[in-house]
Chains A and B, each alone.
Chain A
Amino acid sequence: MRRKEFVDDEIALAFSTDAMLAIVIITVILGISADAMDIASYRLQDYSSRFSLERITTDAADILIKTPGSPEDWDQCYFCSYMTPGLAKINPTTGTTIPNTISFEKVTMLKNRYSELVCGRIIPSGANSSMIIYPINSTLNPIIIRDDVMKSDVSEIAVSNRTVLCDFMFTTVVIAMNTHGNPSNPTENGSQGEVCPHINFTGNLKHQQPDINGGGKPGWVCHHFKITQENLNSTDFYVITDPSPLKDSSARWIIDRTENITDDKQRFSSTPVIVNDKLSQVLGADNQAILWFHVFTSGNPQKLYDAYIVGVPKGSLIEQVRLEYLNPQPCFFVLKVCF
């Protein structure tokens, strides 16, 4: 198009049809671009706020699931002033974190001290949160660590959902005869390497170790465990066996301590036996003590069994004390955070 034609149009049109068409298209393109920029800028702002909340939620879930906390035994540290919660379970033998497995004791403690340990530390103050462990096995109840009411007008909500393994009972003490071979051979790592306080006593009090491989000699297998008054207040303890009921009719158990040795033998039952009263009686007025769990076996290799003292949260139904729950159960760890 020539300039002269553009300027000196004799039909009194400022633009030719082509020029007008071009300007319309350019205007539309510019308009769309401006709108796109506006949308992009809004989304950027929205994204940064969203990203921040998502990052907080993801990091909080990571901290809780992947680390054991600081100190590692923070769940037993009632008076520590500086601690970071973490739920990862520690392998007691190697001292390393067991991947994707969370400790039931730490979950219980976090539930009791959630506001103090989580709010303002790993989740910002003022944010509402919900932390629930949903077992894949539907017969188990979810563990609700915290469930703040999520208002309908929340501006942002972020959810982190992780698959973890979680114990639904914690094992206080294990007497494993069925799986660990001959308990009469104290091994470096075996749980049967312990000498019980009844050793070298005379009469009924005397405990001799069984000889399972060498002709089925009967005897006692014993293990110590620690109990505190806090444990008794927050946990129900049960004695259970595997298999249940037992084939060994002579099987018996005793719980005592070195300061109060007894010969009060109890029969195992086909159902879990709650022992809080017994533990409380043995603990007496002390705040904490080392107790001993003694288990008698006929030594018959065909009738071997494992015995456990397990803990479940106070008030749990006896139906939830089941042998299969001794193994960590696959669960969904769901953390929701909203502003």
Chain B
Amino acid sequence: MDNKGYAMSALSFLLIIPAVLLVTVFVDMSHIGGESEGLVLKSDAVFCTAMDIENQIPVMGKEVLRETADGIVESGDAIIDSRKTVKNVLQAKMCQMSELYQNKMGLEVNCRILSLDSSSDPFYVEIKSTVYVRKDNIVHNETISQNISIERLKDPLPFIKCKNYGGVNMTDTRILYGSSLVAYLNAKNVSNAFVYENASSPLFIKKCPYDPYISHGTLLTLKNCIDNGYFHESNDGACFLCRLEGKAVCPHYGLETFVIPSPTLNSSLISAPCSSDHVIFNDSSYPGMEIQYNLEAGNYYKLFLDNGHRSKYGLPYY
């Protein structure tokens, strides 16, 4: 220190300036490095949580659809506005899950189900949702569309339609109508409804592998399709969500399966309500002419189809 009260000389001051600048730069750089490391960690946590939520939507969605279908099978009561009902239940489940993430990881999580509707493939239901995850200033916001398979879910339609006509029973794989389907058809004044005494239809929705459908023109293929209880794509048949509402037909691209009359000893050719489920369960059914697809121990196994369905499945016109 000089004797004029200066702490340092001008020269020392000049030397210190760049040193101070350099130190400042180093401090700033290390701060930025630490900050970006923190950002990466936060970003990973946000992204992984968003992925987890996204992966859970189809799993939860299928669970909700299964529970809804099983509930209808149990009670026989259709639900009103299935799209809204299922969406709300799924929304509630996703909210619970979001809350879990929020509490455990300190993230702001919001999964909003935008819509739940039929997909272009009737064996799928489409869910649109927005997943929002935020941690401080890191935000992941994504709108996604996912398809859920409805295969292996129970077909709720017969349980709704036959509830007031004696109900139906089920085995491991099939729905057994007993006399309820005849009573249902008689109530609609349909002729030759008796052929559906002890009829049956598949319990679970399974996609028919015999595609294109005209290959059903080989009667053994048709028989195998019936034996396995496969479902087919249909412009007229109701989609799965409309089936939950008890509708046999709907404007969406839907499904159909065959309701199989019990075998008879009578070989005479007759006309009866068309065996496609959307025709039988529609308010106005139309007749089909019988097709004998199997003969076993003197029993004739028949199906009744109109020319429209015969054309679809490659079967001869009557």
Contacts and interface: CB of A to CB of B under 8 A. Distances in A.
A95 B204 contact: no
B14 A26 contact: yes
A258 interface: yes
A140 interface: no
B147 interface: yes
A206 B125 CA distance: 39
A259 B221 contact: yes
Contacts of A33: 18
B309 interface: no
Contacts of B164: none
Nearest to B173: A186
A19 B152 CA distance: 90
A197 B210 contact: no
B14 A258 contact: no
Contacts of A94: 58-59, 62, 149
Majority DSSP secondary structure for residues of A touching B: loop
Interface in A179-200: 185-189, 193-197, 199-200
B142 interface: no
Contacts of A22: 11, 14-15
Contacts of A96: 55, 58-59
A200 B220 contact: no
A47 to B, nearest CB: 14
Interface string B290-304: 000010100000000
Contact of A290 (B14, B18, B209): B209
Given A1-B9, A95-B58, A200-B294, A258 B18 contact: no
A193 B173 contact: yes
B67 to A, nearest CB: 15
Contacts of B220: 197, 258-259, 261
A95 B148 contact: yes
Interface string B259-302: 00000000000000000000000000000000000101000000
A197 B224 contact: yes
A194 B58 contact: no
B218 A290 contact: no
Contacts of B187: none
Contact of B10 (A1, A93, A194, A258): A1
A127 interface: no
A29 interface: yes
B204 A188 contact: yes
B293 to A, nearest CB: 11
Interface residues of A, number: 33
Interface in B141-170: 147-149, 152
Interface in B191-239: 204, 209-210, 215, 218, 220-221, 223-224, 227-228
A195 B227 contact: yes
Contact of B15 (A25, A200, A289): A25
Contacts of A194: 228
B152 A188 contact: yes
Contact of A258 (B22, B148, B224): B224
A18 interface: yes
A1, A18, A258 pick with most chain B CB within 10 angstroms: A258
Nearest to A66: B51
Contacts of A226: 209
Nearest to A257: B221
Nearest to A189: B152
B44 to A, nearest CB: 14
Nearest to A30: B18
B172 interface: yes
A224 interface: yes
A189 B204 CA distance: 10
A287 to B, nearest CB: 10
B60 to A, nearest CB: 12
Contacts of B58: 94-96
Interface string A188-216: 11000111110110000000000000000
Nearest to B58: A96
Contacts of A30: 18
B2 to A, nearest CB: 10
Contacts of B124: 95
Among A1, A197, A199, residue most surrounded by chain B Cβ atoms (within 10 Å): A197
A231 B211 CA distance: 17
Contacts of B221: 197, 258-259
Interface in B50-96: 55, 58-59, 62
B217 to A, nearest CB: 10
Contact of A29 (B18, B209, B218, B294): B18
Interface of A: 1, 18-19, 22, 25-26, 29-30, 33, 93-97, 185-189, 193-197, 199-200, 224, 226, 258-259, 261, 289-290
6 contacts: A25-B15, A95-B58, A185-B172, A186-B173, A188-B172, A259-B220
> Would you list the 10 A-B pairs with minimal beta carbon distance, nearest first?
A195-B227, A258-B221, A258-B220, A95-B149, A197-B224, A29-B18, A22-B11, A290-B209, A259-B218, A195-B228
